[in-house]
Structure formats: C-alpha cells, structure tokens
Amino acid sequence: MNTPDKWVMVEVIAGDTHLYRVFGCWYGGYAGSDSWQMNSGVVGVDEEKQYYDFHGASGSVYRCYKHNYGTHMYGTSVLNNLIAKAKEQGTTINIMPEETNWKELVCTTQ
C-alpha cells in the first residue's frame, strides 16, 4: 500500500478517454529527497472516516488521508511540468477539486 504525505486527483483527457489518477507526493526527510508517483488509473475507491483507499488498474492501493489534499513544492513543479508537456501532445490534465465525490466519480467512469 502506498500512503502519500500529500496527494491530488488528476483527470487525464486524451480524445474521448477520461482517466482519473492519484498524484502522490512524499517528503524526503532529513537525508532523503522529496518524491512523487502517479498511479495507473483509479478503478475503485473505499472511503473511511479519515482516508480514501484508491485502487489502481495495476492492483496498487493508495491510502490518501482526507486532510492531506494538495502537493508539496517539488510535487507542484513536477505536476505543472506534466500538465505543460501533456498539452503539447494534445492531452489535458486537470487537478480535481478537493470536494469532489470520489466514489461517484469513479463509479460513473467505469
């Protein structure tokens, strides 16, 4: 299970295809570097009081705490770069609003 320190949900639009992906960020700490990962695409979600478990197409699970929505500085830079490069390729990447109903969103796209 992956548990990012910060996270956002992104919508990737390529032609008629809409894919929702978790963009997770981790702080590196004293001796490490900040990092990021994007999951393969959300295919299911379980909601608990404090967090969501997002199930990816590859079988991964991202546990995302509700109060940690957003990115850190490095993650923001990476995500902005991904958005710009995708636009050059004719693909759109949107950061979803925090108040989105994730369970409804995933169920309507499957």
Residue 26 has pLDDT above 80, yes or no: yes
| Residue 40 domain-assigned (yes or no) | yes
Domain-embedded: residue 71: yes
Asked if residue 106 has pLDDT above 70, the reply is no
Per residue in 45-74, pLDDT (tens digit) is: 999 999 999 999 999 999 999 999 999 999
User: Is position 110 within any domain?
Assistant: no
In a domain, 47, yes or no: yes
CB count within 10 Å of CB 28 equals 12
Q: Tell me the C-alpha to C-alpha distance, in Å, between residue 46 and each of 12, 39, 43, 92, 101.
A: 21, 16, 11, 27, 12
Which pTM does this prediction carry?
0.92
Structural domain for 33, as ranges: 6-104
